[in-house]
Amino acid sequence: MSEGSKGSSLAFGQVVIGPPGSGKTTYCHGMQEFMGRIGRKVTVVNLDPANETMPYQCAVDIAELITLPDVMDNLKLGPNGGLIYCMEYLEANFDWLQEKLAAFRGHYYLFDCPGQVELYTHHDALKNVFAQLAKWNFRLAAVHLVDSHYCTDPGKFISVLCTSLSTMLHVELPHVNILSKMDLIEQYGKLAFNLDYYTEVLDLSYLVDHLASDPFFRNYRRLNEKLVEVIEDYSLVSFVPLNVQDKESMRQVMQAVDKANGYSFGDQEQRSLEALMSAAVGADFHFTSTLAVQEKYVQSQDKAVEEEAMDL
């Protein structure tokens, strides 16, 4: 994996990014297990210096190089400034990262990244780390996780779309946006539109109209219209729904990422995947389809409408 070895074999992987609480660590754990079941050798690399509890098997941990509590204590920085310092320190110590990764040649890599949004929209340290990995013949895709509960609030969803677009343009990697925690979406409240409206980012003018019914947002209609125009003009943002406990959902996400980074698996992995998808329900996965969640959600809405009509 030397910097100048253009003839060395390619390495494939994902950089898992997103705001705090979006499920990055849970995603890495679930994807490590899922890929392991189909025979793919997976190495998880923790690049989050604030991540102290890791449910997955961590092969490379940035805590061996630097930790956020140490930086905050010694340099008297807050958590945001401390995270930026840690990423700049990692950027200045590429040789450490290169040495650690070299021990896992031939593996598929999952990079669990910090949750500070500014690192993906404004600051260049992580972007430079990804660029250096590319020089080492890594073919990476950015997997950007967003909590699905933002779909229940049109204002927050527009904000998420702007953040996702800004991240895509700044990170400069093949990008897959994920709506995580789809198994919990029913607990967040009613959606204004069907799920595919949010995953495909359909005509956003409906969202602006929906926001106009709120007295607070009515004063910002022009601003919202301009934000929506920017998002639609780029026509880049769409989402893949994810329920980590649903093997069909995991398969769809894995195939979307494989398409993005160019990974192509062999016949043995294909047969293992087919066997896994046809297997009976096991203890580790709850194979309830995300589509079934959406269907159930729509049915519950229809039932509520019928009950209201009967009361009238």
**Is residue 208 in some structural domain?**
no
pTM assigned to the model: 0.83
CATH number, domain of 79, equals 3.40.50.300
**231 lies in some domain:** no
- So what's the pLDDT on residue 193? 81
Q: Say which residue, 140 or 53, is predicted with more confidence.
A: 140
Is 278 inside a domain boundary? yes
Lowest mean pLDDT among 8-22, 99-113, 158-172, 178-192: 178-192
pLDDT of residue 8: 57
User: Does residue 216 fall inside a structural domain?
Assistant: no
- Summarize the confidence of residues 242-260 as an average pLDDT: 93
The Cα-based distances of 218 to 155, 181, 209 in angstroms read 11, 30, 9
How many domains does the chain divide into? Answer: 1
pLDDT of residue 47: 97
Classify residue 207: in a domain, yes or no: no
pLDDT digits (tens, 9 = 90+) for 294-310: 454 445 555 554 555 56
Domain containing 259: what range?
Answer: 11-201+237-266+273-301
Q: Is 225 left (phi over 0), alpha (psi -120 to 50) or beta?
A: alpha
Closest CA to 111 of 56, 53, 166, 168: 56
97 by Cβ neighbours in 10 Å (0-12 / 13-18 / 19+) ranks as buried
Is 211 domain-assigned? no
pLDDT of the residue at 310: 60
